[in-house]
Structure formats: structure tokens, C-alpha cells
Amino acid sequence: MARKTTRRTSYSRKTQPTRSAFSRLIRFIVYSFLALLFIGAVYHYRAGLAYYLGFKSDKVLEEDAVDKHLSDVRNIRVLENHKGKVIGIDVSEFQGKIDWEEVEILEEKYPVQFVFIRATAGNDRVDGQFKKNWEGAKENKIMRGAYHYYRPNENSIEQANLFIKTVKLQKGDLPPVLDIEKLPKNQPLDSLKKGLKRWLTKVEKHYQVRPIIYTGESYYDDFLKEEFSEYLFWIANYNFYREKIEDDWLFWQFTEKASLPGVKHRVDVNIYNGDLEQLQFITVE
């Protein structure tokens, strides 16, 4: 028995250093990978970081400084990747009272040339700031459009009627937009699609212009891309690693966390997949 015990002890002593060395090797590989990943990210976003450090060092960061810093760096890179495209925003009552005379330049170099304004939600809700925003954009010569937030469990015709009653489109305005983000409760997906088509058909008949559909990228791919292929889409995707608009997107909402003079709260920013002349071509005649 003594001999067996001695052998076990001897075996344990021989293997312990090997295990420790293996553990150190694994830690070294993991730390090296993380360091390379960080260096790669810094290099990849070097232009945005340089811009940020050069132009924003004297400004006070908001409560979530890290989040805002990363958002600003990404926003700058995305904007740099779309030179020649038209930049715009979208707003609702959640942005509070907007000083439209101040809404001109994003990140000190990108003109804001269009805005989508929330008009209605569901079958009974008119946005509290719609009238002021609608008039303010027009007075300050910013191309404007109106959107409706669709509630899947409410009557689609009543929702269309509310939008039509609220929004009076004029020559030069952008087409109406249907914002669909949620799935219905206690009803099949086919019922949702029928309701969306009824809304779109009624609104198109009234304004004599085909509406645009706003939704998230996953929602678009999973539920709308095939059956609504005759419509143009405005897609929301805030993924940090997505930096370019897809060819089949009319608009891309790439962030919801931008800062803009004249707007107290964070604001969504959008890229139109074309130049200003092409954007003017799709407006109401």
C-alpha cells in the first residue's frame, strides 16, 4: 500500500506543473486575442476617434459617457462612408419642443435635408408635437414627410382615416410612411398583413402616391420582404458593425442616439440611398 501511495504522489507532482503551464498558455492566448481585437477596433475607427478627440474634447459628455462616445464614433464613420447621400432625421413628441431654426448641421459638417415627423399612432392618437414640427420644418425649408405608427391589434381602416384626417400633404413633401414594428397578439400573421395592405391601399388612393414602409431589418427579412416587394422600405438597424446601406433600402435609420443643435434629446438619423435630386424626384407632385 505504501508503495502505491508513493507512486500516486509522485505522479501528481509530475503533472501539476504541466497543468499550470497549460493554464498560463490559455490565459496568454485569450488576453492576446482581446488585445488584438481592441487594437483592431481602434484602427478601424481611427477616423471617427480622431474627429471625436479633435472636435469634442471641450464638450461635456452626457450621463452615459461611454455609450455616447461609442455612438458618436460610429455615427461619424457611417456618415463618412456615405458622402454624396442625403442625410435626414425623424422626430416625434419624444424629442420635446424643437427649435427648427437651429436644425441645420449634424456633427458640424453634414446638412440635415429632410425630416420624417410622427403624425399619428393607432386609431386614436395624434402626436402632441406634430403640428408644430410639421410647420417648423416647412418654414425652415427642410424637406418633410409624415409617418403613422401602426398598432397591429387595432382596425387598419380607422388608423388610415386618422392619418388622412391629420396629414395634409403638399407639393414637395415626402410620401406617407407606415411604421410597423410589432407583431399582433391573438391573431395570425396573415391577418396582420391584410391589415397593413388595407392601410397602404387606402392611404395611396387618398394621396395618389405609394407609401413607404418603415420597419426593423429582421422584421423586413422575416415578414415583409417577399409579400410587400412592390413597396419601398425604410430600414432601422443600429448594429455597431453595420456601416453601409443595402442596395434595396430606400432609407437607412442607422442610429437613434445622435446629438443635433435645436433638439434637446437624442435623435434618430437616416441616410437616403441617393442624392438630393433623386430624393426630390420621389416627393409629392
Q: Which residues of 51-76 are buried (b: 16+ CB within 10 A; e: fewer)?
A: bbeeebeeeeeeeeeeebebbbbbbb
The verdict on whether 181 is a catalytic residue reads: yes
Q: Which of 90, 127, 173, 217 is catalytic?
A: 90
Is the Cβ–Cβ distance between 212 and 231 less than 8 Å?
yes
Local structure of residue 250 (DSSP, 8 states): S
SS3 149: strand
Is the Cβ–Cβ distance between 235 and 75 less than 8 Å?
no
Q: Which of 135, 139, 181, 275 is catalytic?
A: 181
Is the Cβ–Cβ distance between 73 and 48 less than 8 Å?
yes
Local structure of residue 279 (DSSP, 8 states): H
Residue written as cell 498560463?
A: 24
- Cell numbers for 208, please give them: 395618389
The total of other beta-carbon atoms located within 10 Å of residue 175's CB is 19
Q: Report d(CA 253, CA 238) in Å as an integer.
A: 7
* Sequence-distant (≥ 6) Cβ neighbours of residue 114 within 8 angstroms: 86, 88, 89, 142, 143, 144, 145, 174, 270, 272, 279
SS3 108: coil
Catalytic residues: 90, 181
